Chains A and B, each alone.
Chain A
């Protein structure tokens, strides 16, 4: 079953084409890596999928809803974690959870119960009353992720979720992503760490608004006769520079 299906999606800002006629689909429970250099159009594409931006042309269905007409329904059925830190630093851990649970309409009693379970799972029981500003960055990121899937969305969009986090915490973070995907949550993740690209089921690489490559990491490496995703990425980027000239 496909949870994201996009056809000929285009977004122009004036004369600049940020996203140029892209088409792809994502299966349920898949971990889909969305790669590209800065300015390649990743964020714009992702914002269209989340219902934040209206496409200039093209079709798309996310979680069963049309991105052109049903953006409000889409918003209710996805989770989102931003590149920037998304929790409120001057709220306590449990207050942040309660806030997002409230925004996403998780019933109050259920939210209370699940908060305790969540804190237990994360090993945060002691930190219930701690202000988020005094948590280490890695812990915050884990908490932000947990909060973004607290309402059990069909899909979660992660925009460079591990920026600035140390390798060990990144590793732990990816374990959480795997767990969520086992629960059937589709993961749509952008990253610029190429080693993380290897953890994805499939990877798409955007160059100048187009998707230039889309396959499993293994197939991509074979196609570009590269030993790592990093090399694949560099080969694609070099091609883009040549085209640009």
Chain B
């Protein structure tokens, strides 16, 4: 036990004596939550918009006023002709145009940034609809007769909806980063420096060597898990709708799977940079793109959807959404828990086998 204690302590020294490692492990998660939580998901505010009004009646003035008084839009000016629209967009003077025609209202946004564009037209639609709700039925009848139909071509885009959807994704990414990436790099480091060989020649059991490498990253994952929850509840105002115990159990399971992944990677490589690349390319990139964190899995090609099934982080994110955001119970995540447990066991067996093979 004493060798284990000293060894774990040594791992903590490695972490905290290296400024970058410490930063990555403790500051990066906080930064990620804040950046993703605020920078990306917060509503787009004070977009300058212009109006091209060919009708100029009470309703169009009312809608203009409604948009202007909302926090999302700032009125820039009236346009004299439709030719101005493209010019203003190109010069970057405005971000949104509303055209009141005889037949309908047209919302025009800058499609080079599709996310912002769809969010803006979404806001405008909601504002226009609510304006019409507020009006007397008489006015509603006239406007309806004129056919105010707002068209929107919105893509389902979870990251833009709210911080609610980002928290589970960030949690998955951070736990994966710390457990899989940092663990694999730290074991590969010992191999690269030649200290692993010295340890293997020592009477210390290989399993104990690996285990003591995992302890610090496990501890730090727990700290980060708590930090993420605190930040999301108190800063991003995303409450934990379901059971905290269930959420914690689920996260522990995912941490276990990620630690095993990190170990497996480190048994396959001899150098830190390779461990970093494999973890980065094989784990992190697909985790970001295929896990449903950035893009909806439903709209991906079938092949990619299949690939996404083998990513542990995908199942973790689904389960966290169910428990943390939707407030569902254990029944709702039985499938995810079963898949994650299965993955964890398979990876554990594979890394033990691989590790033994090295010694033969």
**B18 contacts which chain A residues (CB < 8 A)?**
90
With A82-B197, A99-B7, A103-B7 in contact, is A53–B202 under 8 Å at CB? Answer: no
Q: Give how many B residues have a beta carbon under 8 Å from the other chain's beta carbons.
A: 23
For residue A75, CB closer than 8 A to chain B, the reply is yes
The distance in angstroms between the C-alpha atoms of A103 and B5, with both chains bound, is: 10
With A99-B7, A105-B3 in contact, is A76–B13 under 8 Å at CB? Answer: no
A sample of 15 cross-chain residue pairs with beta-carbon separation below 8 angstroms, ordered by A number, consists of A50-B201, A52-B359, A53-B360, A54-B360, A72-B203, A75-B202, A76-B203, A80-B201, A81-B198, A84-B193, A86-B194, A86-B198, A88-B14, A98-B6, A103-B3
Interface string of B1-42 (1 = CB under 8 A from A): 011011100100110011000000000000000000000000
**A104 contacts which chain B residues (CB < 8 A)?**
202-203
Nearest-CB residue, chain A, relative to B201: A80
Chain B nearest CB, measured from A148 CB (Å): 8
For residue B204, CB closer than 8 A to chain A, the reply is yes
The distance in angstroms between the C-alpha atoms of A108 and B5, with both chains bound, is: 13
- Residues of A at the B interface (CB closer than 8 Å) are 50-54, 72, 75-76, 78, 80-91, 95, 98-100, 102-105, 108, 157
The distance in angstroms between the C-alpha atoms of A53 and B197, with both chains bound, is: 12
**B195 contacts which chain A residues (CB < 8 A)?**
86-88
**A84 contacts which chain B residues (CB < 8 A)?**
193-194, 197
Nearest-CB residue, chain B, relative to A147: B198
19 extra A-B contacts, CB within 8 A, seeds A52-B359, A88-B14, A88-B195: A50-B201, A51-B201, A52-B197, A52-B200, A75-B201, A75-B202, A75-B203, A76-B203, A80-B202, A82-B198, A90-B18, A91-B10, A91-B13, A98-B6, A103-B6, A103-B199, A103-B202, A103-B204, A104-B202
Q: Is the CB of B6 within 8 A of A83?
A: no
The distance in angstroms between the C-alpha atoms of A139 and B193, with both chains bound, is: 18
The distance in angstroms between the C-alpha atoms of A85 and B17, with both chains bound, is: 19
Nearest-CB residue, chain B, relative to A84: B194
Near A by CB (< 8 A), chain B positions 172-231 give: 193-195, 197-204
Chain B nearest CB, measured from A45 CB (Å): 14
**A54 contacts which chain B residues (CB < 8 A)?**
360
The distance in angstroms between the C-alpha atoms of A78 and B198, with both chains bound, is: 11
Q: Is the CB of B14 within 8 A of A102?
A: no
Nearest-CB residue, chain B, relative to A81: B198
Q: Which of B7, B13, B198, B359 contacts A102 (CB 8 A)?
A: B7
Q: DSSP majority for the B interface?
A: helix
The distance in angstroms between the C-alpha atoms of A84 and B194, with both chains bound, is: 6
Nearest-CB residue, chain B, relative to A107: B2
Q: Is the CB of B202 within 8 A of A83?
A: no
The distance in angstroms between the C-alpha atoms of A104 and B204, with both chains bound, is: 8
With A53-B359, A53-B360 in contact, is A102–B3 under 8 Å at CB? Answer: yes
Chain A nearest CB, measured from B18 CB (Å): 7
Nearest-CB residue, chain B, relative to A87: B195
Chain A nearest CB, measured from B220 CB (Å): 17
Nearest-CB residue, chain A, relative to B204: A103
Q: Is the CB of B194 within 8 A of A82?
A: yes
The distance in angstroms between the C-alpha atoms of A84 and B359, with both chains bound, is: 19
The distance in angstroms between the C-alpha atoms of A86 and B199, with both chains bound, is: 9
Q: Is the CB of B202 within 8 A of A85?
A: no
